[in-house]
Amino acid sequence: MTATASGMFNASTTPNLEEEDLIYFCKVIEDRAGISLKSTKRDLVRTRLRSRVTDTGFNSYGDYRNYLMTLPKDHAEWENFTNLLTTNKTDFFREPKHFEYLVQKILPEWLKNKERTFKVWSAASSTGEEAFTLAMVLARYLPKDRDFKILATDIDTDVLSTAQNSVYPISKKPEIPSEYYTPCIDLGKGDARGWFRMKPHLREKIIFKQHNLIDRTSPGNGVFDLVVCRNVLIYFSPDTIDFVQKKIFTTVKPNGYLFIGHSESFQGIPHQWSSAGPSVFRKGS
Ligand SMILES: C[S@@+](CC[C@H](N)C(=O)[O-])C[C@H]1O[C@@H](n2cnc3c(N)ncnc32)[C@H](O)[C@@H]1O
């Protein structure tokens, strides 16, 4: 979710979000993105859509709803609507145990095989911190004769632009362990003071691309050594989690791994993964 300053209105002039508008917005975001907001998220929906209602020239959520109802499925306004209702919080080295697991367990085992390129999918990558964390770790721990590639996807086109640009505010630098500063980041100078950019040798390893996890399309069959799909399943219903975990299963190589967020689980969902550690799953050979 990215807010635009223009069109923000004073709290006293905020139009009322009627129950029928809320129900419609919740239904549509679930149909389009799988995000299950439930009507308890009234304040979230009201705040996130507020500036969009005025930016599009409407006086009420109801008028904006009526407008959306007239639009074809591929109209550009749906992208704005979806981008506003996603939650994009992320950090570099978030849930660091996963990166320790990658270095201590997955890579030593993978290095025993003859493959040259370790392939990762960061599914729901937000602004790119997760993909760059993977890139920093892989660049540091893989030997020179091995390579890696990362596919980083998200439904939200605004966060993908930020990720593609790979420029972050200096306030995020402490999220990165200091041993990675020199090899991985360039500090901004002049007008770019207060920002840093990920180095080109990391940027060139990542492809950022739009992908909706609830689409039937898939980025490949049996191609990834590791899929990282963290902190997005919490927004999905059990049926959607089931659909997504099955889809990811087909994209992973035999013996490949899946990381999910520490607050997520497949509890109550029959699946084919073997549990390999906290929030770590493995596909059998
Ligand atoms: C909270 S962020 C998690 C980012 C990162 N994986 C992490 O753990 O730090 C959740 C991301 O999931 C994305 N998302 C939500 N629904 C999605 C869908 N149906 N397909 C792809 N991405 C989706 C959102 O746009 C958001 O950027």
Residue nearest to atom 16 of ligand 1 (CA): 33
Among the three residues 51, 85, 119, which one is the final residue of a domain in this structure? Answer: 85
Domain holding 273, by residue range, is 97-166+198-282
Calculate the average pLDDT of the chain. 94
Q: Which of 21, 154, 156, 225 is catalytic?
A: 154
CA–CA gap between residue 20 and residue 62 (Å, rounded) = 8
pTM: 0.94
Tell whether 69 and 209 lie within a shared domain: no
| Ligand 1 site-directed mutation target among 32, 121, 232, most atoms within 8 Å of CB | 232
The predicted pLDDT at position 12 comes to 53
Tell whether 77 and 140 lie within a shared domain: no
**Is 275 inside any structural domain?**
yes
pLDDT band at 15 (very low <50, low <70, confident <90, very high): confident
Number of domains in the chain: 2
pLDDT band at 25 (very low <50, low <70, confident <90, very high): very high
User: What is the mean predicted confidence (pLDDT) over 150-179?
Assistant: 98
The CA–CA distances, whole Å, from 96 to 78, 102, 133, 261 equal 35, 10, 10, 11
Residue nearest to atom 11 of ligand 1 (CA): 124
Among the three residues 56, 85, 114, which one is the final residue of a domain in this structure? Answer: 85
User: What is the mean predicted confidence (pLDDT) over 276-282?
Assistant: 97
Separation of CA 241 and ligand 1 centre (Å): 13
Tell whether 105 and 73 lie within a shared domain: no
CATH number (domain holding residue 149): 3.40.50.150
Helix and strand element counts for the chain (H, E): 11, 10
CA–CA gap between residue 236 and residue 82 (Å, rounded) = 15
**Is 219 inside any structural domain?**
yes
CA–CA gap between residue 68 and residue 75 (Å, rounded) = 9
User: What is the mean predicted confidence (pLDDT) over 244-271?
Assistant: 97
Residue 137: is its pLDDT beyond 70?
yes
The predicted pLDDT at position 16 comes to 87
The predicted pLDDT at position 41 comes to 87
CB 150 within 8 A of CB 128: no
The predicted pLDDT at position 2 comes to 41
**Is 142 inside any structural domain?**
yes
For the stretch 199-253, pLDDT in tens is 999 999 999 999 999 999 999 999 999 999 999 999 999 999 999 999 999 999 9
**Is 173 inside any structural domain?**
no
For the stretch 35-57, pLDDT in tens is 999 767 899 999 999 999 999 99
Residue 1: is its pLDDT beyond 60?
no
Tell whether 72 and 115 lie within a shared domain: no
| Ligand 1 site-directed mutation target among 80, 84, 85, 126, most atoms within 8 Å of CB | 126
The predicted pLDDT at position 285 comes to 78
Among the three residues 65, 85, 105, which one is the final residue of a domain in this structure? Answer: 85
